[in-house]
Amino acid sequence: MKKAAPWFYYPAELEAGKSGRLSDEEARHAAGSRRLEPGDALTLFDGSGVVADALVVAVGSRGRDVAFEVSGTHNASSPALALHLACALPKGDRLASLLDMATQLGMSSFTPIDCARSVVKVSENAERRWQRILIEACKQSRRPYLPIVRPATRPQVLAEQCQDELWIAHPGGSRPAELSPEAETSLTIMIGPEGGFTEEEVDAVTAQGAHKVSLGAGILRTESAAIALLAYARLAFAVDA
């Protein structure tokens, strides 16, 4: 069986016959860990749904310069249901795990939310680090759409501006199986910090039409709750159809 070509991120125009070079970071991955050589196949994606078949034509500068030529492209189908995650930030490496797994599950965008009980705040250069995690997750899972990172906001503000079906994870809410996105095209999932949302936050969000969703009697970590609901939505509502 022919081995699938590894994926690399190339956020520029892709078309048949185009020649180009990978970014320094992608080149190091291609020539280093993947050990690609001239003549080897690779797949390029621009993060917006365009996927290209290409060949390595040259490797130079001790593996820091990888040139390619595109043989063909196609446009990947957009998800039937866009999944947007609005989430309080978990501590330490758990945030990286959250972004990685959420991307693999088809997350369309990520919005950090600043809750009354939040402990972790968005730090300087955070979005640059997050972007790299999202890119690597797309490459690993072969997802052609790179999630968008949106500015941090408060739960009440997000709910006021949200045009999607909105679910807020909260004990005592409905079971996910009892709900179905009315818009059928976009769903926003809101997850609170380890200490949970305050009642004032829950009241403000539900006043804007959000549905409270329960994940059972146990209290899950922030990232566990997020992944549980994203996985449910992807399987139940045929996100990749």
- What span, in angstroms and rounded, lies between the C-alpha atoms of 202 and 223? 19
pLDDT one-digit tens code per residue, 142-195? 999 999 999 999 999 999 999 889 999 998 888 887 877 655 688 999 999 988
Determine the pLDDT at residue 78. 87
Q: Is 154 helix (H, G, I), strand (E, B) or coil?
A: coil
Parts of the chain belonging to CATH 3.40.1280.10: 82-236
Determine the pLDDT at residue 178. 80
Reported residue count of the chain is 241
Parts of the chain belonging to CATH 2.40.240.20: 7-75
Looking only at Cα atoms, what is the longest distance across the chain? 60
CATH node for 7-75: 2.40.240.20
Closest CA to 103 of 227, 9, 222, 237: 227
Where residue 123 falls among pLDDT bands split at 50, 70, 90? confident
As a whole-number percent, the residues of the chain with pLDDT over 90 amount to: 72
Distance spanning both ends of the chain, measured CA to CA: 26
Question: Domain spanning 82-236: which superfamily?
Answer: SPOUT methyltransferase, trefoil knot domain (3.40.1280.10)
Closest CA to 233 of 161, 140, 133, 166: 166
Q: Answer yes or no: pTM beyond 0.85.
A: yes
Q: How high is the mean pLDDT of the chain? A: 91
Determine the pLDDT at residue 79. 84
pLDDT one-digit tens code per residue, 66-82? 999 999 999 999 888 89
Determine the pLDDT at residue 182. 59
